[in-house]
Chains A and B, each alone.
Chain A
Amino acid sequence: MAEAAPLLPNTSLADRAYRIRRNAVLMGEVQGQGYIAQALDIADVLAVAYFHAMRWRAEDPDWEGRDRFLLSNGHYAIALYAALIEAGIVPEDELESYGSDDSRLPMSGMASYTPGMEMSGGSLGLGLSIAVGRALGLKRKGSDSRVYTLFSDGELGEGSVWEAIMAAAQFGLDNMIAVVDVNNMQADGPSTQVTAFEPLVDKLEAFGWWVRRIDGNDLDAVRDAFDAALAAPAGKPRMIVADTLMGKGVPFLEQREKNHFIRVEAHEWRLALDALDAGRPA
């Protein structure tokens, strides 16, 4: 494994995002392929979620007072593992086991495998439904913990997502914060050409949600959106619509046309790490 660049003191969110991307690329190298473009596009959101917005304890991933993070798009597991490693919830040396037999880091995220993984994804469109129950349960307990859910624009095609969106509004679940990753790429092509989910902000507002749309790769905008979501009016569930760039931070991956599931030549992983290093904040 390549030597990790030393962690800067008072690590900035930008540096967290860099290290999440780096962890993801290293895991991609283990497999030689994977959902690496998604991991790169969502790293900024994960950096803000884990190192600015959420409460958690690395030594106690099931701590009752934690905020819950539900990964609905289970194939983004490589991204969440990268964040969990950066958070110290998953030991860094497990990175090399990603997607291998008997690993705690399977290719698709599952609740029983990985510390810090709250649900079993893989089948898309499950996360928001579970989040509704989590949010109801936390309110029942009088807990002020929040339920964060990450899902992807392709999942907007699942009817269950809209069932959950309506249920969250019905119950006034203001302890729910969802992030939809609009990277405009699903398995068969650009999401906006597959399903007419736009205008998304108008739709979600009409469904009773507080909504903020941002450039999901602008760290300041992401941080402000999470802050605004936390401070949004009571009684409304909150949605951050994050427009992101597949492969963000690695120019030759950003430019790849078919980047839903990427195959990368062996020598290119080094190039990807070099590109991340070049873009690392000073």
Chain B
Amino acid sequence: MAPGARRARCREARMTASPTPAASAKPRLTTSAMIASIAGEGQRTKPAPFGHALVEAARTRPGIVGMTADLGKYTDLHIFSKEFPDRSYQMGMAEQVLFGAASGLAAEGFTPFATTYAVFATRRAYDFIHQTIAEENRDVKIVVALPGLTSGYGPSHQAAEDLALMRAMPNMVVIDPCDAHEIEQIVPAIADHKGPVYMRLLRGQVPLVLDEYGYSFELGKAKLLRDGADALFITSGLMTMRAHEVAEKLKADRIEAAILHVPTIKPLDEAAIAAAAAKSGRPVFVMENHTVIGGLGEAVAATLLRHRIQPAAWHHIGLPDAFLDAGALPTLHDRYGISVDAVTARVKAALG
């Protein structure tokens, strides 16, 4: 059933019947409004990696200033604001002036890191980012929490299409980091890159995964985290974390999966993607925390076409083209096929 139809059916059921808890064996999970962490139980984490990394970057880069639109605590910018109160600007609940003023500060030689939720940056203030930051090519770093499906609050806070919107904007560098280890490295890297950057953020207790691979972030580079003959996972953001767990699980079935992590969505590392996909015989699974329209999957597909590469099979794991449900995040990740269990099942089914 299409997710939209399911939602319509669920709504109908809510209106016509009283809930019957006994009908379901699973405990009914509750929505955590602005979820503080996507970490699973027992997962290694680091607190507020963006906030701490920005403090470190700012110590040696006097041009860095922090800005937010009433979401300092919810984007980990409060760590920076506490350390550098005189370099922090609270713009109030006003995303247009947030990004317009960021452009103005950049024009005067500063490097603003402007934070809000992904939905408000991309959907509410798109024209301001497009005209005052991208068109004028200002040195502004747009850092956004709740990317893709990382809130159970409903479509108002679910930025399922943010990458598509930002990829389409000229001059914009677009980054979808995986974990705390990577976020710590991205902050100084984008501070030193002159020009506009859109960076998705995981906040609060952020999982640590990539340190196990001895990974280092390079702007514009995709990295092969692990190799494997049976499948190629091309992933970004938190789906790289999921791919890592899926690959570990598949080992029990003697399935060896490669993971190509693509944190920079734009400019895309087409050479690395083509090289990995050209290795014969491996089906390709692109996994993204984003609608299947206009994100990593379609960018990879176009890359393969341009390089005349036909993988053994093509599987695109992402969010449906639909307004997503409200609910508990684990429930939603299962429902929309981006949880570890859902991805594992899909990969196994595809590999027969």
Contact = CB atoms under 8 A, between A and B. Distances in A.
Interface of A: 110-112, 118-120, 122-123, 125-126, 128-138, 140-141, 159-160, 163-164, 166-167, 170-171
B165 interface: no
A120 B132 contact: yes
Contact of B128 (A126, A131, A138): A126
Nearest to A168: B97
B contact patch SS: helix
Nearest to B140: A133
Given A120-B131, A122-B131, A160-B96, A133 B136 contact: no
Given A129-B97, A133-B100, A166-B94, A111 B136 contact: yes
A134 B107 contact: yes
Contacts of B103: 119, 129-130, 133
A132 B104 contact: yes
A122 B128 CA distance: 12
B25 to A, nearest CB: 49
| Of listed A118, A120, A129, A160, residue having the most chain B CB within 10 A | A129
Given A118-B107, A163-B94, A166-B94, A136 B101 contact: yes
**Contact size range, B:** 20 to 34
A203 B65 CA distance: 32
Contacts of A129: 96-97, 99-101, 103-104, 128, 132
Interface in B188-202: none
A110 B132 CA distance: 10
Interface in B78-105: 89, 91-92, 94, 96-97, 99-105
B128 A160 contact: yes
Contacts of B107: 118-119, 130, 133-134, 137
A142 to B, nearest CB: 12
Contact of B106 (A132, A133, A159): A133
Nearest to A131: B104
A135 B136 contact: no
Contacts of B91: 167
B314 interface: no
A119 B132 contact: yes
A126 B132 contact: yes
Interface of B: 65, 89, 91-92, 94, 96-97, 99-110, 112, 127-128, 131-132, 135-137
Nearest to A136: B105
Given A120-B132, A122-B131, 16 more contacts: A119-B103, A123-B131, A126-B100, A126-B128, A129-B96, A129-B97, A129-B100, A130-B100, A132-B97, A132-B101, A133-B102, A133-B104, A134-B108, A137-B105, A137-B108, A159-B96
Contacts of A166: 92, 94
A18 B271 CA distance: 60
9 contacts: A119-B136, A120-B132, A130-B132, A132-B101, A133-B105, A160-B100, A164-B101, A167-B91, A167-B92
Contacts of A167: 91-92, 94, 97, 101
B136 A120 contact: yes
Contacts of A112: 135-137
Q: Which interface residue of B97, B105, B127, B137 has the most chain A CB atoms within 10 A?
A: B97
Contacts of B101: 129-130, 132-133, 136, 164, 167
B187 to A, nearest CB: 21
A241 to B, nearest CB: 21
A128 B101 CA distance: 9
A118 B96 CA distance: 19
